[in-house]
Structure 1
Amino acid sequence: MESSLDAENRNRPSEVSLSVENIGGIDETEVSLSDGVTVLSGRNATNRTSLLQGIMAALGSDHVSLKADAEEGRSVLEFGDETYHRTLTRRNATVKTDGDPYLDDPEIADLFAFLLETNEARQAVARGDDLQELIMRPVDTDAIQAEIKQYERQKRDLDEQLSELDDLEQRLPSLEQKRTQLTNEIETLQEELEEAQAELEETNVDVEERREEQSELETKLGDLRGTRADLERVRDKVETERESIEALETEREEVQERLDSLSTDDDADIDRIEAEIEMLQEEKDELTEEISQLQSTIQFNEQLLEESGSVLPTTDQGDDGAVTDQLLADSETVTCWTCGSSVAHEQIETTIEQLRTTRQERLEARTEVSSELSERRELLSEINENRSEYERTTRRLDSIDDEIERRTTRIEELTTEREELTDQIESLEAEIEELETEEYGDVLDKHKEVNQLEFELERTENERDEVEDEIESIETRLETRTELETRREDVTDELTSLRTQIDQIEADAVEAFNEHMANLLERLEYDNLDRIWIDRTTREVRDGRRTVTKSSFDLKIVRSTDDGAAYEDSIDHLSESEREVIGLVFALAGYLVHDVYETVPFMLLDSLEAIDAERIAALVEYFESSAPYLVVALLDEDAQALEGNHDVITTI
């Protein structure tokens, strides 16, 4: 099966062109880079690191330096049919960038692809920093948490709908039983009505002189039946309205309790928190800018040490290399390009170390500010959500009050109508009594009985129809259960995926590091270094007002004595070569876990001098399979140890 990297490689050019001007120590140069491994071979102070910075500039990194004696620099990368370019301009002692680079956001490449000496991943291992924070930095955990909350709301809504369907389904048996009962009652009433109508026909006295009175009597009986039906309907409506009011009052109590539990005294808090967010964001931006400036200053000073000849202003000496030769001849001092005085190597190295320490402090401060900023934003979101819920609850309470008032008014109207109908019935009954005679007494009784049965039959049939409509409605609702359950499963799966996404990235990073570390230790054959791995642990910590589970990456090192006894060691006791290898492997783990090759096809390696030539060759061969374009800066003797056909650039 074709790997993702192989699929990506098929769509990439076999060769790319790069032109660099006034970056690092380079005046101007053009090179071609082939896919696979490209080696920048040469002595120190031959602009190899500067060329790597030129690549980084075109790709979008800000960790590049403008040539000290230039006001503007440029890097252009021709990549297949596309051209990417970046311009660096010095303005008021700061360097501004412009152009159309390969990457819009270079953070992930700066961490795991541009592995120069100052690379943060390499440095973090050497210093014993928090590796978990570094590996998770490209992951937008705030966005994941927001998405989790959204899916949780969807799941709660689906759960409520499914619970409602369960309640409806439990009602079905009693409704079906009631329908059966009403159907039986209807059949009984129909039989009774047929018998009463037959008896009425039998007892009907056909007397011509009483036909007019009988006709009037039948009319009154018809009116009485209709009025009683109206009265029964009004009574049913009154009962329905009262039941609705009871349900509304119960809901009102619940809504009022919810409203009482919500606070609205948060206007001052919102203003304060928004001000704090703005202040923290400004502080974070300032720290980011300061970190960037510190990084540029560190790189410039490192460049001053490595390529001191290239940063000196042009002189009138006939021999262009005389100044450089003079500097290289004196390995203890460097001529400052600003004032021309000699500065000791040790003094610059001390300055660089102080700058690195300051930069690390600023990084830690930015992490703390970011955490506090996230906490404030979450608190503001909770307050706004509380306010929105308060407003929704208030509107619902007002709506319930309006509905109760409307239904109460309706009951009053129905009560008045009921009283009027009752008076009409009493009046009709009185009129019918006057029309009754002994001769027609039985006929009148039969008329009343038929009238009452017809009324009861109509009422029962209406009640059965209502029950059947309710059953049909419930059955229709129940037909949506499968769809709701499917949606709930999808939402639950997505929730599980989101909740485990962070854990999975961490687990993958640890697995990748441990696997590649074991493979490289076997290849590099470090004496008495048995095993190096990361142990991932979790613990409960306070994050603002919440208790959260936080992961920790603990670097474990096991050595063995001459007699074979194993013991645990720390990073501080490793050789520089061993620390460099561990830092590179950690960066490789981040590169693979975050699929950085899909974001940027280049990996850059520099400052490998602490590792011997044979191990560098094994390391480059190992890294080659992970990056489409691997560009490595090496000393001549180290470059000669590489096996295979690799492009070599010796002149920059």
Structure 2
Amino acid sequence: MKTNQNVENRETPEQAALSVTNIGGIEETSVSFQQGITVLSGRNATNRTSLLQGIMAALGSDRASLKADAEEGSAVLEFDDETYRQTLRRQNGTIVTDGEPYLEDPEIADLFAFLLESNEARRAVARGDELRDLIMRPVDTDAIKAEIRQLEQRKQRLDEQLGELDDREDRLPDLEAKRTRLADEIEELREELETAEEALESTNVDVETRREERSELETKLDELRDTRSELERTRDRIDTERESIEALEDEREEVEANVDELSTGEEADIGRLEAEIDALQDQKDGLNEEISQLQRTIQFNERLLENPGEFLAGNGGSAGGDGALTDQLLAEGDSETVTCWTCGSSVATDQIETTIEQLRTAHQERLEERSTINDDLDERRATLTEINENRTEYRQATRRLESIDDEIERRRDRIDELTSERESLTEEIDDLEDEIDDLESDGSEDILEQHREVNQLEFELERKERERDEVEDEIASVEDRLGEREGLEARREEVTEELTDLRTRIDRIEEDAVEAFNEHMDNLLETLGYDNLDRIWIDRTTRDVREGRRKVSKSSFDLKIVRSTDEGAAYEDAIEHLSESEREVTGLVFALAGYLVHDVYETVPFMLLDSLEAIDAERIAALVEYFESYAPYLVVALLEEDAEALAEEHDVVTEI
């Protein structure tokens, strides 16, 4: 967390120039700013807030208002040899914006950098709203959760591959032992074969008289040996096919169990959920429109209080440019009443303030209602996604079952073919043995038996050598796969680190926000010296809530306040019991915490402060100078008497 970042160490242009046309109560003006604090000093209705809106508009915010008698306005910011512009235009009863402002997305600036009276962070503290959701709004938690799911699947695949390597490695000692045993058996067979061949060679028979019989006999013996070899290979193929069928049947049991766990009767749920999502989205769209209209109405009435002359300008022309009348009406606006710009009647300022407060309450209710709808939408979309994933997995498992059944059937047919082939070879061997028996004659029994022994030994030796080659191939394959372990483990470690980072990212942001608020609140309370206000801090707690079909832990920010009596006894208090000055300071510090934890100063060069009248001048000066350490450009709108404490050391703008 960069709570101690001093902006003077960052590369930020030393000055900026702003031109504003037809925004708020400003018809046309240009102002230059230097890095550091700029004070907009003046009495009420001198367009200080309107100039702040002009800065907001040039930076990209859509919360600036168009002058009441204008169809189009603009704000242009010259900054770092670049020019940024946004125009405002009336269209079908609403204000639309266009151009190339400084920010593509102004949401985070509206929340934590543009701290006007209606700023949502300030108001949330004053009303005692849930603060965690506000501080986490710029964080795309859905994208983080989706990325976590993808990484979990990748880690699972790596774990399966590493588990397979472990199984292969466990088999390696058995394979090596088998290879050694086969090598010994092959050596013994070779020795036995050599002895048998020597015995056959030394046998003394009448070769000349037995040559023809012996030649035919040897041919039959060779044929018998080849047939027996073919029979052995056929038996091996039958065993292989049976082992494959057993493995396929085991896999089928696993797939069938998975299919049984998956739900397939959720078509009605899908239709219902899609209908509910559409209905909730329509409600949300309607609320968005209401919220926008309420915001515009609030801003309009705030400007009416601040600068009633802005709304009299359009009627002034029709009055023949009677300056005395306008001065009189403005004088009324500066006292306890404001003249209505439409009908000319006087309206008490407290009545307008009451109306503004009612509008703000309605605005907040709509925001809360929209937040509830957002939660409902998230829950239903998560449920729908889970159902669709279930259906996809069910279809894949069903197709795999069909594929396994086809494969099992094909291998059974192959076994039938091989069994027939084995029976045929067995019959052929029987026939050959009968023929060999017929060829045997007196004096030839020994040599025939020796031939049989040699043939059998040759056959057995060939089979053992083939088995040894298969074992060596399998050992080589295992050793090759084990060579992949290091790369797999490195990838798994990378994925695990990414998962840990993602899983803790939200927690870290929350912790940093709480730490930033508590640190700066402690510092400012000590600096500002409020009587009997010992401490204000945020306590981060967790609670279990439902998200789709699952229960998840969700954080909550609880604002804690401790006061002390005149006798020194401490007691816990509530936000609504704070003075207006204390509430405003708390709201500003909460906004500062969001500004720092989201590194807003890296993308938004301006921080704007307005409506600080509830705080006394000495504390305003201390507060503003504290904020200066964290914002490249800090622009503050103050009443003349409040600005005096800052005027000697910082730039002051009095004419707008």
Is TM-score (shorter-chain normalized) higher than 0.5?
yes
- Whether 1:493 and 2:497 are equivalent positions in the alignment is yes
Q: 3-state SS of the aligned residue for 2:631?
A: coil
Q: CA RMSD in A?
A: 1.8
Superposed CA deviations along residues 486-535 of structure 1, whole A, max 9, x for unmatched, are 22222122111111111111110110001001111111111111111111
Match of 1:550 among 544, 554, 557: 554
Separation (CA, whole Å) in 2 of partners of 1:192 and 1:644: 113
How big is the shift at 1:199?
0.5
How big is the shift at 1:438?
2.1
How big is the shift at 1:339?
2.7
Contact conserved, 1:39 with 1:634, CA < 8 A, in 2? Answer: yes
- Whether 1:406 and 2:410 are equivalent positions in the alignment is yes
AA aligned to 2:154 is Q
Match of 2:443 among 424, 439, 443: 439
Separation (CA, whole Å) in 1 of partners of 2:303 and 2:498: 49
Match of 2:388 among 384, 390, 404: 384
Partner of 2:634: 630
| Structure 2 length-normalised TM | 0.96
Q: 3-state SS of the aligned residue for 1:85?
A: strand
How big is the shift at 1:327?
2.4
Partner of 2:151: 151
Partner of 1:539: 543
- Whether 1:356 and 2:349 are equivalent positions in the alignment is no
Separation (CA, whole Å) in 2 of partners of 1:332 and 1:616: 26
Q: 3-state SS of the aligned residue for 1:642?
A: helix
Identity rate, percent:
72
How big is the shift at 1:268?
3.2
How big is the shift at 1:185?
0.8
Q: 3-state SS of the aligned residue for 2:436?
A: helix
Contact conserved, 1:48 with 1:633, CA < 8 A, in 2? Answer: yes
Separation (CA, whole Å) in 2 of partners of 1:637 and 1:421: 114
Partner of 1:593: 597
AA aligned to 2:460 is E
Partner of 2:21: 21
Separation (CA, whole Å) in 2 of partners of 1:487 and 1:321: 80
Range 163-172 or range 615-624, more displaced: 163-172
Separation (CA, whole Å) in 2 of partners of 1:594 and 1:614: 30
How big is the shift at 1:11?
3.7
Q: 3-state SS of the aligned residue for 2:457?
A: helix
Separation (CA, whole Å) in 1 of partners of 2:61 and 2:634: 17
How big is the shift at 1:272?
2.7
Residue 388 and residue 108 in structure 1: after superposition, are their counterparts in 2 closer, same or farther (change >3 A)?
A: same
AA aligned to 1:138 is P
Contact conserved, 1:176 with 1:471, CA < 8 A, in 2? Answer: yes
Partner of 2:480: 476
Q: 3-state SS of the aligned residue for 2:646?
A: coil
Q: 3-state SS of the aligned residue for 1:640?
A: helix
How big is the shift at 1:133?
1.2
Contact conserved, 2:546 with 2:552, CA < 8 A, in 1? Answer: yes
Unmatched segments (≥5 aa) in structure 2: none
How big is the shift at 1:8?
8.8
Where do 4+ consecutive residues of structure 1 move more than 4 Å?
2-10, 316-322
How big is the shift at 1:319?
5.9
Separation (CA, whole Å) in 2 of partners of 1:183 and 1:154: 42
Range 499-508 or range 545-554, more displaced: 545-554
Separation (CA, whole Å) in 1 of partners of 2:97 and 2:279: 26
Where do 1:108-147 residues align within 5 Å?
108-147=108-147
Contact conserved, 2:332 with 2:339, CA < 8 A, in 1? Answer: no
Match of 1:613 among 606, 617, 620: 617
Range 518-527 or range 158-167, more displaced: 158-167
Match of 1:323 among 320, 326, 329: 326
How big is the shift at 1:231?
0.3
How big is the shift at 1:128?
0.6
AA aligned to 1:167 is D
Q: 3-state SS of the aligned residue for 2:596?
A: helix
- Whether 1:12 and 2:16 are equivalent positions in the alignment is no
- Whether 1:188 and 2:188 are equivalent positions in the alignment is yes
How big is the shift at 1:3?
9.8
Separation (CA, whole Å) in 1 of partners of 2:346 and 2:614: 27
How big is the shift at 1:411?
0.6
Residue 401 and residue 3 in structure 1: after superposition, are their counterparts in 2 closer, same or farther (change >3 A)?
A: same
Q: 3-state SS of the aligned residue for 1:626?
A: coil
Range 7-16 or range 63-72, more displaced: 7-16
Contact conserved, 1:9 with 1:628, CA < 8 A, in 2? Answer: no
Partner of 1:234: 234
Unmatched segments (≥5 aa) in structure 1: none
How big is the shift at 1:21?
1.1
Partner of 1:81: 81
Where do 1:508-519 residues align within 5 Å?
508-519=512-523
- Whether 1:198 and 2:202 are equivalent positions in the alignment is no
How big is the shift at 1:543?
3.3
Partner of 2:170: 170
Separation (CA, whole Å) in 2 of partners of 1:589 and 1:324: 44
Partner of 1:368: 372
| Structure 1 length-normalised TM | 0.97
Contact conserved, 2:22 with 2:28, CA < 8 A, in 1? Answer: yes
Range 53-62 or range 558-567, more displaced: 558-567
AA aligned to 1:450 is V
Range 615-624 or range 473-482, more displaced: 473-482
Superposed CA deviations along residues 555-600 of structure 1, whole A, max 9, x for unmatched, are 1111122222222221122111111111000000000001111221
Superposed CA deviations along residues 2-57 of structure 1, whole A, max 9, x for unmatched, are 99966896543211111111111111111112221111111110000000011111
Q: 3-state SS of the aligned residue for 2:472?
A: helix
Superposed CA deviations along residues 309-341 of structure 1, whole A, max 9, x for unmatched, are 122123355564751453224522212222333
How big is the shift at 1:265?
2.5
Q: 3-state SS of the aligned residue for 1:33?
A: strand
Separation (CA, whole Å) in 2 of partners of 1:152 and 1:571: 42
Partner of 2:32: 32
- Whether 1:277 and 2:277 are equivalent positions in the alignment is yes
AA aligned to 2:403 is S
Separation (CA, whole Å) in 1 of partners of 2:273 and 2:99: 37
AA aligned to 1:560 is S
Contact conserved, 2:517 with 2:589, CA < 8 A, in 1? Answer: yes
Contact conserved, 1:308 with 1:324, CA < 8 A, in 2? Answer: no
Separation (CA, whole Å) in 1 of partners of 2:587 and 2:604: 20
Residue 204 and residue 273 in structure 1: after superposition, are their counterparts in 2 closer, same or farther (change >3 A)?
A: farther
AA aligned to 2:620 is I
How big is the shift at 1:626?
0.6
Superposed CA deviations along residues 184-238 of structure 1, whole A, max 9, x for unmatched, are 1111111111111110101152421321221111111111111100000000100
Residue 639 and residue 383 in structure 1: after superposition, are their counterparts in 2 closer, same or farther (change >3 A)?
A: same
Separation (CA, whole Å) in 1 of partners of 2:99 and 2:572: 50
AA aligned to 2:384 is L
Contact conserved, 1:333 with 1:344, CA < 8 A, in 2? Answer: yes
Separation (CA, whole Å) in 2 of partners of 1:643 and 1:223: 115
Range 557-566 or range 610-619, more displaced: 557-566
